[in-house]
Amino acid sequence: MDTAARGLLSTDSRAAIDAMLDDRLYDGGDKSAMFDLIARVRERYARLINADVDEIAFTKNVSEGLNAIVAAFDWRKGDNMVLCADLEHPNNVFPWRHLVRRAGVEMRVVAPQEGQIPAEALADAMDRRTRMVSASSVTFAPGFRMDMAAIGQHCRARGALFLVDGVQSVGILATDVAALGIDAMATSTQKGLLGLYGMGFLYCRREWAEQLTPAYLSRFGVDLGAGVHEAALGDGADRLMPAARRFDLGNYNYIGAAAVDASLAMMLDAGPRRIEAYVTGLARKLAQGLVDLGLPVCGGVPPDGKGSSIVALGALGQGQHDTVDDPAMAALYEHLSANGVRLSIRRGTLRFSLHVNNNAADIERVIELARGHNRGTIGK
Ligand SMILES: Cc1ncc(COP(=O)(O)O)c(C=O)c1O
């Protein structure tokens, strides 16, 4: 129950990695097969989030994707951007602070409301100099789902770019970037996409991408036409690749691509909506069971269709990553861990995060363990 830290690697992904390593070890590696793999992964990921293939770039992680967008934008002194910094991962705060120092851009920080990124407050903070709004689709703690469609609409109406950190939802919640009005979205593959560290995707909507100038440019971001060797220099015009492909640089993380190729195939086969319904259903069941024991679940049991894959227990902000101030919660964490439940502490809460590898028996076991521990220590 720790997908929000890193997901499980499937045996299919492991087999794909092994096959690639064997090929490299015994046969030197087949470059055209590697390029075919990249094309297939790009197409599968595009399909998963309802984007066009050209709207997907390969990155290392969330940080690289977010920074690629920030650095490619034509910022003017006095421009501003809006975010709810308290609920963002530091990787979606440092790039903005850097921008403030480098380019005189204003960072408008909106306060969270009961653990939520408040869509309307973000919109209220926007004005005619707002160029971007950035937010996580689901926060890493307490794991609430943000109203992406509402923010997307406000951004579209005002011509601002809506930039999403999608890492806590992609692969788990069905994500239709077109329907949600997302202009750019960064993710990495080690969490909900059930892949490896060091591999990520950047989606950027064509209309925006083609107005952006990447800070870095290299071979795969330059359009030399079909069939031209990767080492060719071209005619010197250095036309950028269409849409987000201009953000691709040099050789790819082929091993990371092989791992996520297998999980993308599984997700497309199972269907993103089915995965979402299954995982959020389990999370609601867990939240309900813990609430029934009198335990303080952040936000209580979410309404059907509004929850995420994350259930956070305890008071948000009491304690830090890996520590919790409340001795009762610390003891519960120890008890669960000692009994083989894998979870994390984030921002002082016990964070359970689920995926398709979990089932109803897992949920019952955690509730039973919490009930046993609860007697005499916490709640009723
Ligand atoms: C919301 C969120 N964003 C970003 C990250 C990580 O970013 P990166 O992939 O750049 O390491 C995490 C977790 O590690 C996260 O929970």
Domains by residue range for the chain, with CATH:
11-269 (3.40.640.10), 272-374 (3.90.1150.10)
Any residues with CB less than 8 A from the CB of 311 and at least 6 apart, and which? 143, 283, 286, 287, 290, 297, 298, 351, 352, 353, 354
Residue 164, SS3 per DSSP: strand
**Residue 259: HSE in the Cβ half-sphere, 13 Å Cα cutoff:** 25
For the entire predicted model, the pTM comes to 0.96
What local confidence, expressed as pLDDT, does residue 117 receive?
A: 96
Q: Ligand 1 within 6 A of 183 CB? A: no
- Please give the average per-residue pLDDT across 30-59, as a whole number: 98
How confident is residue 380, by pLDDT bands cut at 50, 70 and 90?
Answer: very low
Residue 98, SS3 per DSSP: helix
Using CA atoms, how far apart are residues 309 and 311, in angstroms rounded to an integer?
7
Least confident of 181-190, 208-217, 233-242, 304-313: 233-242
Per DSSP, 247 falls in state: G
Q: Is the dihedral of CA 276, 335, 348, 88 positive or negative?
A: negative
- Antiparallel, parallel or unpaired: β 106-109 and 344-346: unpaired
Any residues with CB less than 8 A from the CB of 235 and at least 6 apart, and which? none
pLDDT tens digits for range 321-375: 777 888 999 999 999 999 999 999 999 999 999 999 999 999 999 999 999 987 6
Separation of CA 298 and ligand 1 centre (Å) = 21
Q: Ligand 1 within 6 A of 167 CB? A: yes
Pocket test for ligand 1, best of 6, 88, 91, 322 (most atoms within 8 A of CB): 91
What local confidence, expressed as pLDDT, does residue 378 receive?
A: 52
Using CA atoms, how far apart are residues 27 and 184, in angstroms rounded to an integer?
39
Separation of CA 232 and ligand 1 centre (Å) = 36
How confident is residue 317, by pLDDT bands cut at 50, 70 and 90?
Answer: confident
pLDDT tens digits for range 113-141: 999 999 999 999 999 999 999 999 999 99
How confident is residue 174, by pLDDT bands cut at 50, 70 and 90?
Answer: very high
- Antiparallel, parallel or unpaired: β 344-346 and 349-353: antiparallel
**Minimal-distance CA residue to ligand 1 atom 13:** 5
Atom of ligand 1 nearest to the CA of 187: 9
pLDDT above 90 covers a percentage of the chain that reads: 90
Q: Ligand 1 within 6 A of 63 CB? A: yes
What local confidence, expressed as pLDDT, does residue 315 receive?
A: 87
Separation of CA 378 and ligand 1 centre (Å) = 32
pLDDT tens digits for range 239-255: 999 999 999 999 999 99
**Residue 322: HSE in the Cβ half-sphere, 13 Å Cα cutoff:** 1
User: At residue 305, does pLDDT exceed 70?
Assistant: yes
Separation of CA 89 and ligand 1 centre (Å) = 6
Instruction: Identify the CA nearest to 8 among candidates 358, 365, 338, 336.
Output: 358
Cβ atoms of 195 and 70 closer than 8 Å: no
* Strand spans (E) along the chain: 56-59, 80-83, 106-109, 130-136, 161-165, 184-188, 200-204, 310-313, 344-346, 349-353
